[in-house]
Amino acid sequence: MQRVFILVALVCFLSSAAGPVAAQATNGETYEDHLAHEIEDPTAILTQLQFQDLYTPRNFKSSAQTNTIQLRPILPVKPFWLIPFQQIIRPTFKVETLATSSSSSTITEYADMELLDLVVSNWPDPKTTGFGWGIGPTFVFPTGRVSAAGDHSWQAGPAAAIAFRGIPRLLLGFIFQNPISFAYTNSSAKPRSTMEFQPRISYTLGNGWYVKSSDSTWNVEWHHRGSTTIPVSLGVGRVWKLSGLQLNPWISGEWTTYRQFTKITPMYTVRFGLTLLFPDLEL
């Protein structure tokens, strides 16, 4: 399955060179450039369906090669009578092939499900200031069967996102989450409180192409001798149109630059992604 996903991503990249002529958007940029600018903005009202394959050929403390297949819808929700605010709901589902020891042995398991719910503010006006922000809760549901794939705990905590697009072609922003455990499904489960900080930087190059450093998440566990990991990433992608569909194939590499008190941890990872965009759809 991993090889099929890689092949699809590469075919999309190669085919993009012969893609249709981009429709023109405002301010002299193409429609594809406009979408490329919004894709990495965590506060953008843009419906997406993201598929990712994360292949890790080398891990710290293990000779195993690991892999994660991830599905992540991003669903803007219009204000309604119960919640009179614009929301962005982002569930994440994962199936992980995990290292079990210092040898090359692995297991494949369904991981904990994650849910981010941001209430997006319209003040100040993002269209005139280029500044967007949102706050809300984040949740973790204990769907992982084994401890390597999940924490065996229900978790909830604060979340926030900020984006600045006031500089032409450039996006600067981040997503912050800190889920905290409050109930447990296993007597051996340990309390959890982990800060997750994801810096997001992207720059559009024209014709739908963009470069980014936005896939890595820094993790800091607040408990005594909790683990800390700080990875960095660099990637490239393109937004293009095919038979009425807006597609975004991309690829990035990630390297763990700092770690402390960690167990088996990715040393470097290659991410293959394909995102379906639905700019006219909003729940």
* Structure-block tokens of residue 203: 């720059």
- Residue 68 to residue 58: CA distance in whole angstroms: 14
Average pLDDT, the chain: 89
Q: What is the pLDDT of residue 187?
A: 87
The mean-pLDDT minimum among 4-18, 182-196, 240-254 falls in 4-18
Q: What is the pLDDT of residue 71?
A: 98
Beta carbons within 10 angstroms of residue 239's beta carbon = 29
Q: What is the pLDDT of residue 123?
A: 87
Cβ 90 vs Cβ 74: under 8 Å:
yes
The mean-pLDDT minimum among 117-121, 145-149, 154-158 falls in 145-149
User: What does the pLDDT look like over 208-223, one tens digit per residue?
Assistant: 999 999 999 999 999 9
Q: What is the pLDDT of residue 27?
A: 58
CA angle 117–123–129, rounded 5-degree value? 110
Instruction: Give the residue among 177, 12, 169, 166 at the shortest CA–CA distance from 90.
Output: 177
User: What does the pLDDT look like over 126-141, one tens digit per residue?
Assistant: 889 999 999 999 999 9
Superfamily classification of domain 2-271: monomeric porin ompg (2.40.160.40)
Mean pLDDT over residues 148-154, rounded? 93
Cβ 264 vs Cβ 59: under 8 Å:
yes
The amino acid that residue 73 corresponds to is: P
Q: What is the pLDDT of residue 28?
A: 62
Find the radius of gyration of the CA atoms of the chain: 19
Question: Who contacts 120 (Cβ-Cβ below 8 Å, separation ≥6)?
Answer: 43, 45, 85, 86, 87, 88, 132, 133, 134
Prior bond of 124 cis (ω within 30°): yes
User: What does the pLDDT look like over 85-104, one tens digit per residue?
Assistant: 899 999 999 999 999 899 98
Q: What is the pLDDT of residue 244?
A: 77
User: What does the pLDDT look like over 5-62, one tens digit per residue?
Assistant: 444 444 444 344 334 333 445 556 788 999 998 999 999 999 999 999 999 999 999 9
- Report which of residues 24 and 119 the model is more confident about: 119
Cβ 88 vs Cβ 57: under 8 Å:
no
Residue 129, classed as helix, strand or coil, is: helix
Confidence (pTM): 0.88
Question: Who contacts 61 (Cβ-Cβ below 8 Å, separation ≥6)?
Answer: 102, 262, 263, 264, 265
Q: How many angstroms separate the Cα of 226 from the Cα of each of 23, 193, 266, 282? A: 50, 9, 17, 40
Q: How many CA atoms lie within 13 A of 161 on its CB side?
A: 26
Cβ 240 vs Cβ 5: under 8 Å:
no
pLDDT > 90 fraction of the chain, expressed in percent and rounded: 74
